[in-house]
Copies of this chain bind each other. A is one copy, B any other.
């Protein structure tokens, strides 16, 4: 009944991705900072560990992870691409005040979508926008 924690190196190897130092660090960051980070956030955070790091590597790595199903893309706002290590079906709420992105659970499969029967659905996204409780108080 004990859940085996899958290390980041194993996560990569299991998906036939060579666990380079940069890839491990990016994945580690995603696992430890579940904030739906932007490329810039990841880049800034990893510069301490990898002084020679290039932003291209972040883009390459994230696109690799997306193809492998390790992370998923979040595009609530135009020109603000974010990445989510949680690939399970859940909704996202963006606070227009503080900019934070919250997860919320939602039964997307419960609601019936009229008008697209016989359509093959690959993925579903639910995005809300508004003001979070923290900002609402002020």
Give Cα A117 to B130, complex, Å.
12
Q: Are B130 and A121 in contact (CB under 8 A)?
A: yes
Copies assembled: 2
Q: Are A105 and B115 in contact (CB under 8 A)?
A: yes
Q: Are A136 and B118 in contact (CB under 8 A)?
A: yes
Give Cα A105 to B112, complex, Å.
8
Q: Looking at chain A, what size class is its interface with the partner chain? A: 35 or more
Chain A residues within 8 Å of B, Cβ to Cβ: 73, 75-79, 81, 91, 93, 95-96, 102-108, 110-133, 136
Give Cα A111 to B106, complex, Å.
7
Give Cα A135 to B84, complex, Å.
30
Give every chain B residue within 8 A of A118 (Cβ-Cβ). 133, 136
